[in-house]
A and B are shown apart, each in its own frame.
Chain A
Amino acid sequence: MTLSSNDTGATAVGTTAAGTTDGPATNDAATDVLLDVRGLTTEFHTAEGVVRAVNDVSFSVRPGQILGIVGESGSGKSVTARSILRMVRPPGRTTAGEVRYRGTDLLTLGDKEMRDLRGREIAMVFQDPQSALNPVMTVGDQIAEALIVHGADKKKARERARELLGQVGIPDVDRRLDDYPHQFSGGMRQRVVIAVALASKPSLLLADEPTTALDVTIQAQILRLLAELRDQLGIAVVMITHDMGVVAEMCDEVVVMYGGRVMERGPVDVIFGNPQLPYTADLLAAMPRLDDVAQGRSLPAIPGSPPDPANLPPGCPFQPRCRMAEDVCSQQVPELLPRVESGHLAACHVTQRGTPIPPLVTAAAADRVHGGEARPLLQITNLRVDVSNESRGLFRRPEPVYAVDDVSLTVRSGETLGLVGESGCGKSTLARTIVGINQPASGTIQVGDHVVGDKSGGDAVRRTVQYVFQDPYASLNPRRTIRQSLEEALAVRGVPPRERDAEARALLERVGLAERHLDRYPHAFSGGQRQRVGIARALAADPKLLVLDEPVSALDVSIQAQIINLLESLRDELDLGYLFIAHDLSVVRHLSDRVVVMYLGSFVEVGDAEAVYSNPQHPYTAALLASSPIPDTAEKNRERIVLGGDLPSPKNPPSGCRFRTRCPIGPLHHPERTICIEQAPALEQTETGQLAACHFAGELSRAGALP
């Protein structure tokens, strides 16, 4: 197939047979730049007016390069990717700009030519592998289809599908080729999606948040796979992400988007080392870090929240939140102009004049009030939770499924216990059992002097323990105003009706909102504000202990620091105890005094945060730490432990040590270590002080430790 460009220097794109990648390199510009996006603008025509989601975006990608497009929600990064492949859904339309691929403007191609190019030259990987595969087609057919539509015959396509599945690391290919998507785990599905994308050997891969829906150890697998593909096949990758850590680890160049515009772009080292945009600088500073030693100091936070693309501020989109903003910033949109270092461009009026960005001041957190001796608020002993009762059969009782299996912990006042684990490890079940949403199968939960489950225990627990949910939108009734939600909680506490109004105001003020927010409905708030409301409601019960279930993971990066700071100051001022649950190790590190690492229903490591992070004793902890992306290019080449495989099902846990099926020092790699298969390790004191449940504790600590 030959495409003629309407430009001078027409270039042939693609080749006649599927499977050959040697794009015709007729002119030098075309080989140097694979994709050149200029002035791309995409608008959505909605009832409320025109929303310019992508505004005058320009960047280019060279063959074999990994380019990161980073931004928060509403920044336009995903729409940019879709615009390149002309896959924006109505009512969206690309209204201006050029997308030159090997010199041909894709925006002017006919539908058929565009279709021929999709998949063969440019392919795409999507965020959510759960929904990106057709549930009624076998994965083999879905991979083969990508070849068949480009002219391959069925037999060859199937042969190639088999080869591709092996290439993306799916074991037992012959059997799995005819399996359906629902028979694969999330990580495996994402590998299938990548195999589909690779089928016709494209030169460019657009990856739209390819690891956001995955756990950190699976994320590490997928990132490594993408890096290998680049190294082996020379594929260029455009990586769309919100995670600065992923950018630092993977990318050669980065484009920072905000409010639909490119605000800064350049080589990764330059941008991480010397950002010229206050937004980039503050965002990097606001991220909690694995090597956080800033205990007792709050995070430097960016105020406000990302703008609604339908309602952008005038001038520079970041100006209302910018600490360096001047008059000119609200009057004039800054141009993207070259900076000192080659290839570095930034759009900022202030730094353009050479004004340096001062470091963000980190306020010292309030002194921690320890009301005398730290007394234990919550004590859990040998707790097991059976979650099998949903599927109770008609005739037989189902086998018990212990999502939480024999765990014990203590939380004291004024202290934060961080609970880390991947999805499915049972951390949320544990949290929900504490507040009475799930019922324990055995073991005790003691709150103060009361045992949960006793008749007298219920009220005592409610007065002492409150819960903050992950998704602040789902946890607020959309039909009730903030005042109604807060006053409901106050009424339960027994606050007389006359005092409730004043009390509700005080609560809102305490979490950083204002009185005028009282009579609004949840939909009128941003994500961060809603989470503040959620916290205020929990505080309304006047608790001593908060169970925080992933309270920041649904929030944008720039908002996370605000909420973490709020939680920190509340803890210190009110002498609250926290059970802080998260999958993000850096967030846990910043807030926690002690840390528990959970795997498949059990605790594998427990100890002081300092000790666990600097000297992990359990191989799983070491692997988690090593898999977490660090937003620092200096860490790019640190040693990584990438765990293979997936989390086993709690319905059928492995014998002996539950981690042995994935353990890098276990029987998989050391067949002589049969003890791991035969005997479950107990949680025991290690040399470095913390507890770990491993027969070979400490063996991997040095490799996984941070420098």
Chain B
Amino acid sequence: MEDTAHQVPETGRSRRPRGGGAWSRYASALRTPKGMAAAILLVVLIGGALLAPVIFPGGYDQQARGALQGPSGAHPLGTDEFGRDILVRTVYGLRTDLSLILTAVPVSLVIGTLLGLAGYVSKPLGAVFQRVLDIILGFPGLILGIMIVLVIGTGWLALFLAIAVAGLPGFGRMARGGLLSEEQREYVLAARVLGVKRSTIMVRHILPNVVDPLLVQASVFMVIAIFIEAGLSIVGLGINPPNPSLGAMLNVGARYVQTLPSYVIGPGVMLLLLALAFTLLSDALNQAATRR
């Protein structure tokens, strides 16, 4: 249990990151069993998604002869209502999902962090942004998605915006919390007393200590982003057909769950693998960030 504090007799050190370059710490995160598993899974999933056009040159729209056929040698997961191969569509669906989260989450991370750190430049501005984030936080993720769909209609962009906006409060609050606690740290005060420039203090002393938890949060939010996509798509507010996404496939597959269970099992398992990979990654990063 990493939670149980080891009571080292009378010399207990506070929980603080040790020195060392950021990269070496992240590298060491990947060397733990969890980190290793996450890395392998991610390489396989992302590699598969990238290579999908090479592996399945026919594309996701190629129709076979029979619709809604059960699993067979030619179609390991069977075919859908138009006779398209479910496995092929699952891999292309993964591609869609990855294209969403790997763009929307970093965008959310950067904007959210900037909003959170705005208080360093101007205190009133920071307070205003904090209120804005509070308001966004009041909207559950799917409601946010419904609102965006209402304005711009369904499609990739709506999902992208729903994910990016839903992530802002988390990143923003974490960045602000980090900023407020770092500003009170004595080494930051020491730099101020020395007369180090404010921008230098930010880059040198505050940011490196704020970044760690933000990265952990980013990989946690990857999982939530996957679920936002799936949730919106399942209710029919996601990617427009005939493009596949994992959620959109579940949407249709749920109708055939009695006759063709593999229609939901395929994309469902893929979703779980993707979520598992990022969960493991966040655990590994978290361990590396708070290691004694």
Residues of A within 8 A of B (CB): 44, 46, 51, 53-54, 73-79, 88-92, 308-310, 432, 435-437, 458-459, 462, 466-467, 469, 471, 473-481, 488-489, 492, 521-524, 534, 537, 540-541
A458 to B198, CA, bound (A): 14
Q: Does B255 count as interface, using CB distance less than 8 angstroms?
A: no
A78 to B10, CA, bound (A): 7
Complex interface: chain B residues within 8 A of A437 (CB): 189, 192-193
Contact A308 B6 (CB under 8 A): no
Contact A73 B19 (CB under 8 A): no
Q: Does B191 count as interface, using CB distance less than 8 angstroms?
A: yes
A466 to B17, CA, bound (A): 27
Q: Can you report 28 A-B residue pairs in the complex whose CB atoms are below 8 A from each other?
A: A51-B8, A51-B9, A53-B9, A73-B11, A75-B10, A76-B9, A90-B4, A90-B7, A91-B6, A92-B9, A437-B189, A458-B195, A462-B194, A466-B194, A467-B189, A467-B190, A469-B190, A474-B187, A475-B187, A476-B187, A476-B190, A479-B208, A480-B19, A492-B194, A521-B18, A523-B18, A534-B190, A540-B194
Contact B186 A469 (CB under 8 A): yes
Q: A44-B7, A73-B10, A522-B19 are in contact. Are A475 and B190 (CB under 8 A)?
A: yes
Q: Who on chain A is nearest to B19 by CB?
A: A521
Q: Who on chain A is nearest to B195 by CB?
A: A462
A432 to B11, CA, bound (A): 29
B1-22 near A? 1/0 per residue, CB < 8 Å: 0001011111101101111100
Q: A309-B9, A541-B195 are in contact. Are A478 and B186 (CB under 8 A)?
A: no
- For window 181-240 of B, CB contacts with A under 8 Å fall at 185-187, 189-196, 204-205, 208-209
A53-B10, A474-B187, A488-B196 known; 8 new pairs, CB 8 Å cut-off, are A79-B10, A90-B4, A91-B6, A462-B194, A466-B193, A469-B190, A479-B17, A541-B195
Complex interface: chain B residues within 8 A of A75 (CB): 10
A478 to B186, CA, bound (A): 11
A462 to B186, CA, bound (A): 17
Complex interface: chain A residues within 8 A of B209 (CB): 479
Contact B11 A436 (CB under 8 A): no
A467 to B188, CA, bound (A): 12
Complex interface: chain A residues within 8 A of B17 (CB): 478-479
Contact A492 B196 (CB under 8 A): yes
Pick the most buried of B9, B187, B194: most chain A CB atoms within 10 A of its CB: B9
Q: A469-B186, A523-B19 are in contact. Are A78 and B9 (CB under 8 A)?
A: yes
Point out the residue from B186, B205, B208 that lies within 8 Å of A474, measured CB to CB: B186
Complex interface: chain B residues within 8 A of A88 (CB): 7
Q: Who on chain A is nearest to B292 by CB?
A: A523
Complex interface: chain B residues within 8 A of A78 (CB): 9-10
Lowest 5 CB-CB distances: which A-B pairs, in order? A521-B19, A53-B9, A475-B186, A462-B195, A474-B186
Point out the residue from B6, B11, B193 that lies within 8 Å of A435, measured CB to CB: B193
Q: Who on chain A is nearest to B190 by CB?
A: A475
A489 to B191, CA, bound (A): 8
A46 to B28, CA, bound (A): 21
Contact B20 A479 (CB under 8 A): yes
A54 to B11, CA, bound (A): 14
A75 to B11, CA, bound (A): 10
A479 to B289, CA, bound (A): 12
Contact A92 B195 (CB under 8 A): no
Residues of B within 8 A of A (CB): 4, 6-11, 13-14, 16-20, 185-187, 189-196, 204-205, 208-209
Complex interface: chain B residues within 8 A of A469 (CB): 186, 189-190
Pick the most buried of A462, A478, A479: most chain B CB atoms within 10 A of its CB: A479
Complex interface: chain B residues within 8 A of A309 (CB): 9-11
A706 to B15, CA, bound (A): 44
Q: A474-B186, A478-B17, A479-B208 are in contact. Are A488 and B10 (CB under 8 A)?
A: no
A77 to B187, CA, bound (A): 32
A476 to B11, CA, bound (A): 18
Contact A76 B194 (CB under 8 A): no
A309 to B9, CA, bound (A): 8
Q: Who on chain A is nearest to B18 by CB?
A: A523
Contact B11 A74 (CB under 8 A): yes
Point out the residue from A91, A466, A471 that lies within 8 Å of B186, measured CB to CB: A471
Complex interface: chain B residues within 8 A of A477 (CB): 187, 204-205
Point out the residue from A74, A92, A474, A480 that lies within 8 Å of B185, measured CB to CB: A474
Contact B13 A523 (CB under 8 A): yes
Complex interface: chain A residues within 8 A of B20 (CB): 479, 521
Q: Who on chain A is nearest to B185 by CB?
A: A474
How close is A436's CB to chain B, nearest CB, in angstroms? 7
Complex interface: chain A residues within 8 A of B18 (CB): 478, 521, 523
Complex interface: chain B residues within 8 A of A76 (CB): 9-10
Q: A76-B10, A92-B9 are in contact. Are A478 and B191 (CB under 8 A)?
A: no
Complex interface: chain B residues within 8 A of A92 (CB): 7, 9
A308 to B194, CA, bound (A): 33
Complex interface: chain B residues within 8 A of A44 (CB): 6-9
A74 to B6, CA, bound (A): 15
Contact A74 B187 (CB under 8 A): no
How close is A54's CB to chain B, nearest CB, in angstroms? 8
Complex interface: chain B residues within 8 A of A540 (CB): 194
A248 to B236, CA, bound (A): 80
Q: Who on chain B is nearest to A88 by CB?
A: B7
A466 to B192, CA, bound (A): 10
Q: Who on chain A is nearest to B191 by CB?
A: A488
Contact B194 A537 (CB under 8 A): yes
A53 to B12, CA, bound (A): 13
Q: Who on chain A is nearest to B208 by CB?
A: A479
Q: Who on chain B is nearest to A475 by CB?
A: B186
How close is B281's CB to chain A, nearest CB, in angstroms? 22
Q: A479-B209, A480-B19, A488-B204 are in contact. Are A541 and B194 (CB under 8 A)?
A: yes
Q: Who on chain B is nearest to A471 by CB?
A: B186
Complex interface: chain B residues within 8 A of A432 (CB): 189
A79 to B190, CA, bound (A): 35
How close is A481's CB to chain B, nearest CB, in angstroms? 7
Contact B190 A74 (CB under 8 A): no
A523 to B20, CA, bound (A): 11
A467 to B195, CA, bound (A): 12
A171 to B165, CA, bound (A): 56
Q: Who on chain B is nearest to A547 by CB?
A: B193
How close is A642's CB to chain B, nearest CB, in angstroms? 30
Contact B10 A492 (CB under 8 A): no
Contact A436 B192 (CB under 8 A): yes
Complex interface: chain A residues within 8 A of B185 (CB): 474
How close is B11's CB to chain A, nearest CB, in angstroms? 5
Complex interface: chain A residues within 8 A of B205 (CB): 477
How close is A230's CB to chain B, nearest CB, in angstroms? 26
Complex interface: chain A residues within 8 A of B4 (CB): 90
A432 to B186, CA, bound (A): 11
Contact A478 B10 (CB under 8 A): no
Complex interface: chain A residues within 8 A of B8 (CB): 44, 46, 51, 310
Q: Who on chain A is nearest to B196 by CB?
A: A492
Complex interface: chain B residues within 8 A of A310 (CB): 8
Complex interface: chain A residues within 8 A of B192 (CB): 436-437
A435 to B192, CA, bound (A): 9
Complex interface: chain A residues within 8 A of B14 (CB): 473
How close is B206's CB to chain A, nearest CB, in angstroms? 10
Q: A478-B16, A479-B19, A522-B19 are in contact. Are A462 and B193 (CB under 8 A)?
A: yes
Q: Who on chain A is nearest to B4 by CB?
A: A90
How close is A408's CB to chain B, nearest CB, in angstroms? 22
How close is A406's CB to chain B, nearest CB, in angstroms? 25
Q: Who on chain A is nearest to B188 by CB?
A: A477
How close is A131's CB to chain B, nearest CB, in angstroms? 13
A492 to B10, CA, bound (A): 38
Contact A46 B6 (CB under 8 A): yes
How close is A45's CB to chain B, nearest CB, in angstroms? 10
A53 to B192, CA, bound (A): 40
A263 to B11, CA, bound (A): 20
Pick the most buried of B7, B19, B209: most chain A CB atoms within 10 A of its CB: B19
Complex interface: chain B residues within 8 A of A480 (CB): 19, 204
Complex interface: chain B residues within 8 A of A51 (CB): 8-9
